[in-house]
Structure 1
Amino acid sequence: MAELSTVARPYARAAFEFARDHQALESWSDWLGKLGAVVAVRDVQKLLASPSLTTERKVELIVELAEVELDEASRRFLDTLGESGRLATLSAIAEHFEQLRAEHEKRIEVVVVSAYELDDKQQNKLAGALKKRLNREISITTQVDPKLIGGAILRAGDTVIDGSVRGRLNRLSEALTA
């Protein structure tokens, strides 16, 4: 998976820079996401690995399955991936593209795992505090995990903040046994 991500990164950057320069971030994000979802399907991965299909046919198949309309630049990008044998990286390219877009638009997705359901007021207060601290627009997704006992775990990009009771107990246990 790490190799796939490494291969996808320069393609995602090139796609992002082109889309940004041509004010087409939303449309590129849309079709890359759809094609990435199609390529993630195991049966499609098998088709892409098949030597009996031409590169052109593989490109046609994923475009048809994704039900997207591609402009000339998008088609050239996809053809380049096909000619390079990189169609299987579309999911990773789409993921990296979204990360670059979020960074460019100064927004971040924060996953909040808490012991109890957060109401709208709590979510808004948390989003406000995170916006101030991270200097980005915040989009919160919540999950409930009663095993946390209390508190919450926040995941924003590569950052994880464990403010749960379970996390504190684990750290205390580690300190006592060290």
Structure 2
Amino acid sequence: MAEASNEPYRPLTVDLDCWASHASPEIAQHLFAILDIVDENGALRRALTDPSRSAADRARLVHSLLDGRANGSAVDVVADLASQRSASERELGDGIERAAVLIAAAAAENRGGGSALEGLMDELIRFKSMLDRSPEVQRAFSDSRADARAKVTLARRLRAPGSEEAALLIERAVSAPRGSLPGRLLEHFAQWVADRQQRWIAHVETARPLREDQLARLHDGLNRLYARDLKLTTEVNPSLVGGLRVQVGEEIIDGSVTHRLARLQQRIGA
């Protein structure tokens, strides 16, 4: 995970939905293992981010090295990331790290939908809060002389019983923080899980309050559209004039009069 800087943090990304339906903690674990290989091998990093190589060539290199040695989906994710142009060698590693966290989040989602994602996020935040309250524990996890296995053992002693996905992410953060502080890394992990959770929340803005029967029909229609049981949040926004605006994750459905007027103004050059 890259340290804070003046530049916005933008790791490489993949279309997670290609793998989300069969995501599992095992795939996330394999991604972390591949990340360790990439982080420890400078020649490999340079080869996978070499701009003189074609995108297809970089992807082929990933497959030639890892096919049969790691989970196939994990290899496909890394090949996808390697085929993208990296601004730096570090950016590729950050992209693999983020993909591993999001695959773990998707595994929780497959197990229990939006509530499982919320539970995963809560577990990560709880462990981070425990770290924040104990300088002694922070020192134990930050000690570069301590063995990674010892840190995992300590995390297992301190962590409350919970999900397999949370155990994986917490143990990863304390044993291999990649130059960051474990607590700070867990904060990033929790934010990425929260981003995934937004797919289960429909934020609705309306020009005027909706009746209960209207809300029920809207909720049912959105559930059928997205094929999942969404949590509905509503807000009255008089500036919409009429109609409504719905946001689910990064997707926006804008049926407001304001939006239609703005589009009309663009067409006529007003």
Is the counterpart of residue 53 in structure 1 residue 139 in structure 2?
Answer: yes
User: What is the aligned partner in structure 2 of residue 174 from structure 1?
Assistant: 266
Q: How big is the shift at 1:33?
A: 2.2
Q: 1:29 touches 1:94 (CA, 8 Å); kept in 2?
A: no
The alignment partner of 1:117 has SS state of coil
Larger Rg: 2
Q: 2: CA distance between counterparts of 1:27 and 1:131?
A: 18
**Which residue of the other structure, out of 212, 224, 247, is the alignment partner of 1:155?**
247
Higher relative contact order (CA 8 A, sep 6+): 1
TM-score (norm 2): 0.45
The yes-or-no answer on 1:30 pairing with 2:119 is yes
In structure 2, do the counterparts of structure 1 residues 154 and 77 end up closer, same or farther at CA, with 3 Å as the change threshold?
Answer: closer
Greater strand share, structure number: 1
Quote how far apart the aligned CAs of 1:124 are.
0.5
Deviation at 1:109, TM superposition (A): 1.6
**Structure 2 portions without partners, runs of 5+:** 1-8, 14-94, 144-150
The answer to whether structure 1 residue 8 and structure 2 residue 98 are counterparts is yes
* Cα deviation code 1:130-174 (max 9, x no counterpart): 223332223211011111111111111221111111111111111
Q: Which residue of 1 aligns with 2:189?
A: 93
State whether residues 12 and 94 of structure 1, in contact with CA within 8 Å, keep that contact through their aligned partners in structure 2.
Answer: no
Unpaired stretches in structure 1, ≥5 consecutive residues: none
SS at match of 1:2: coil
Instruction: Give the % identical residues.
Output: 20
Q: CA RMSD in A?
A: 4.2
Aligned to 1:129: 221
Asked if the contact 1:113/1:145 (under 8 Å) is kept, the reply is yes
Return the alpha-carbon distance in structure 1 between the equivalents of residues 232 and 99 of structure 2.
Answer: 26
